[in-house]
Structure 1
Amino acid sequence: MATQSIRELEAVIAQRKANPQPGSYTDYLFSKGLDKILKKTGEEATEVIVAAKNEADADLILEIADLTYNVLVLMAARGISVTQIEEELASRIGPSDAAKLQERRPIKKL
């Protein structure tokens, strides 16, 4: 079975963004724009929650994979890399405290 890393998928999505392949789902999302990408990402997040309430791990894995793909498309649309996410996660390693939680920036626009 072939495996694909997050970075490989990120590269494929970036390549499809730069060189659209008509008929591909990735091209469809990019051509419809950010609102469509956000809608699909939200739908997939909801499907992850629903699948997590069920006992079948296979369904949950499928939905997490779908959400991961859509989040990567969203990241590409906004110009955010996996490396940036890794750096943010790395900055969170270590003891957490209430002060760090208070530092979160508010959402400015919905």
Structure 2
Amino acid sequence: MRDWNILEELWQVIQDRAEHPSAESYVSSILTHRKGVDKSLEKVGEEAVEFIIAAKNQVPERTISEAADLLFHFLVALKASGTDVADVLDELAARRK
């Protein structure tokens, strides 16, 4: 099994960009966009469609790449919506019981 710590590290970076916006940061540009949370949700939708197409067409490299993009933008959208990823993880854990 792979190291899942990368998701925690990524979440920390997203939180840092939210707390300390930077003009050079892609994450900051999404979180501070004039469209508000809608911008991050648009990105999730875009990446979800790209993932679906790659998976449907059975292109492993693209499926992996688009899955990574989708996970990343999903985390950014969680932050933009004021949702803590820990709460999502707690919900998943509760469903396993």
**Paired residue for 1:51?**
54
* TM-score normalised by L of structure 1: 0.77
**Paired residue for 1:72?**
75
**Paired residue for 1:12?**
13
**Paired residue for 1:38?**
41
Q: Hey, which bits of structure 1, 4+ residues long, moved more than 6 A?
A: none
SS at match of 1:44: helix
Cα RMSD between the aligned structures? 1.6
Q: How many residue pairs align between the two structures? A: 92
Gaps of 5+ in 2: none
Alpha-carbon distance between aligned partners in 2 of 1:55 and 1:45, rounded to the nearest angstrom: 15
SS at match of 2:95: coil
SS at match of 1:23: coil
Alpha-carbon distance between aligned partners in 1 of 2:65 and 2:5, rounded to the nearest angstrom: 14
SS at match of 2:67: helix
Structure of greater Rg? 1
CA 1:4/1:25 → structure 2, altered by over 3 Å: closer, same or farther?
Answer: farther
What do residues 39-71 of structure 1 show as CA deviations (whole Å, max 9, x unaligned)? Answer: 111101111110111222111010011011111
Question: More helix per residue: 1 or 2?
Answer: 2
SS at match of 2:96: coil
Following superposition, the deviation at residue 73 of structure 1 comes to 0.6
Following superposition, the deviation at residue 90 of structure 1 comes to 1.2
SS at match of 2:32: helix
Contact between 1:20 and 1:27, CA under 8 Å: does it hold in 2? yes
**Paired residue for 1:108?**
none
